[in-house]
Structure formats: structure tokens, C-alpha cells
Structure 1
Amino acid sequence: MFHYTAETEKSMDEAIQSLEESLKEEKFGVLWQFDIKETLQKKGFDFEQPYKVLEVCNPKEANNVLTENQLVGYFLPCKIVVYQDLETKKTKIGMPKPTALIEMVNDELIKGFATDIENRLIACINNSI
């Protein structure tokens, strides 16, 4: 599976706040938060699903992987989505798995970095639910 998704009873705002705290413990910061619902509505689309994309980065790790292979920059920063599932009305937190993305680079050394980052980000998501 190319992604990891977890579910929580928390509101989106509570989940994002908890996620940001968990990410800080792993030295990740949220660079940008993109509110898809708000953006699409401003553009005249009737999009009602609460859906946010967080771009997260650990500068030390970004430096490490980019030093090894510049193509990894195509996948940076990492993305974590937080949205309300329309059917269950529960908040979901998910991400594309770095190990799935890094397969496209075909670099064995980078796969180790991707596995480490993936495990840490999954732990951050799990700790925030």
C-alpha cells in the first residue's frame, strides 16, 4: 500500500494541534498548511469536505537525503493530510509512504533513510490520535 492512514475521534483542529506537537518531538516542523476546502470554495467550487494538507520537514534529514541524491527533492517536503471522512464523519490523518515514493529513485542507500523517516512519521501520526 502506498499510504498510511489512521483515524481519530478528535476534531481536525485538535488532531492537527496534537500532530504538530508530536512532529516537534521528532524535529519535524510544519512549513505550510493548505486548506483545500477553503481554496476551492474561494475559486467558486462547491467543495464541502474539510481537508488540509500539511507540508512537514526535518531540516537535518532533508539535508542528509539531498546530499546523497538530489532527485529526492522531488518528494520533499513530506505531506500529511488531515481530513474529515464524509461517510464516518471521523477525522483521518494520513500520508504517502516515503518508502513507496522513494522506489521511483531506485537508490538502495536512500531506501534506508526513507524507512527511518516513514517509521518516525507514522509514530507521530499514531501519537497524535
Structure 2
Amino acid sequence: MHKYVKQVSLDFEEAERKFKDAIEKVGLKVVGEVMPSKKVKMKLNIDVPPYKILFICHPKYVYELMKMNKDIGALVPCHAFIYSDGEKACCIGVELPTKTLSFAGEEVVEYIKTAEEQLKQAVDMVAS
């Protein structure tokens, strides 16, 4: 499995707010975001439930990863997502960097385990 996902009984805005707060509490930062559901509406005029992708990192992790593998920029930051199931529930999740970075070598995988645990902890904080 390359992702860690939990369903929460929150509306989209509340799930997003709580997830962003949890990301900060575990020591990571949201450094960017994109909302594909708005792009679909704008470009195709199709309504879809809210869907947001968050880009998450910590400068120390990126610095250490760059020292290990100069091409790591193609794979960072980590990705998280929030989407509405169309009801009054949402799913929040994160990619598992130990899986997505596995081909970069064992040193990278070992190093990124801490960040992966932080990402999963942020999901669990909202889902509990």
C-alpha cells in the first residue's frame, strides 16, 4: 500500500482545517496546495465534490535528502489529500514516502521513516 487514508465524519472545510492544524502540530509544514475539483469545474464545467492536494515538507528533511540524492527534487515534498465523499464525510490521507521514495535507495527510505510517522500521526489526530 502506498497511502494511508482515514474517513472522518466532518465536512470538507472542517476536515481541511483540522488536518492542516495537525500537520503543524506534528512539526511539518504545508508548503503548497492545489484544488483539482475547482480546475475540473473551471475547465470542463463539471461539478465534483471538493478535492484538495497538499504539499508537505520540513526544510531539514529536504536538505538531508538532497545530500543523499541530488535528484530527490522530483519526489519531494510529500503529498496529502482531502476529499469529500459527497455526503457529510471526508477522507484524509497521505502518501507513504517510504514507498514512493523506495527506488532512491535504502538510506533514503530509512531516513524518511520519521516523516512518514509524522504524516500518519497527523491523519490519526483528525480521525480520532
The TM-score normalised by the length of structure 2 is: 0.89
Tell me, in whole angstroms, the C-alpha distance in 2 between the residues paired with 1:98 and 1:45.
34
Unaligned runs of 5+ in 1: none
Which residue of structure 1 lines up, in the alignment, with residue 111 of structure 2?
113
Show the 5 A alignment for 1:80-119: 80-86=80-86, 90-105=89-104, 107-119=105-117
Q: Structure 2: state its 5+ residue gaps.
A: none
Checking the alignment, whether the CA contact within 8 Å between 2:9 and 2:88 is kept in structure 1 is: no
Aligned length in residues:
127
Measured in 1, the distance between the counterparts of 2:108 and 2:51 equals 30
Structure 1 residue aligned with 2:126: 128
The separation in 2 between residues aligned to 1:24 and 1:5, in whole angstroms, is 18
RMSD value, Cα: 1.5
SS in 2 for 1:30: strand
The equivalent of 1:14 in structure 2 is 14
The CA deviation at 1:40 is: 1.2
Amino acid at match of 2:83: Y
How many Å separate the matches in 1 of 2:26 and 2:63? 15
Distance 2:94 2:15 in 1: 14
2:40 alignment partner in structure 1: 40
1:65-101 Cα deviation digits (max 9, x unpaired): 1122123221111110000124x65200112210111
3-state SS, counterpart of residue 104 of structure 1: helix
Residue matched to 2:58: 58
Residue 10 of structure 1 and its aligned partner are, at CA, apart by 1.3
Kept in 1, the 8 Å contact 2:55–2:79? The answer is yes
- Offset of 1:44 from its aligned partner? 2.3
Aligned-pair CA distance for 1:27: 2.4
SS in 2 for 1:46: coil
**Deviating runs (4+, > 3 A) in structure 1?**
none
Output one character per residue of 1:46-76: Cα deviation in whole Å (capped at 9) or x when no partner: 1412111011111111111112212322111
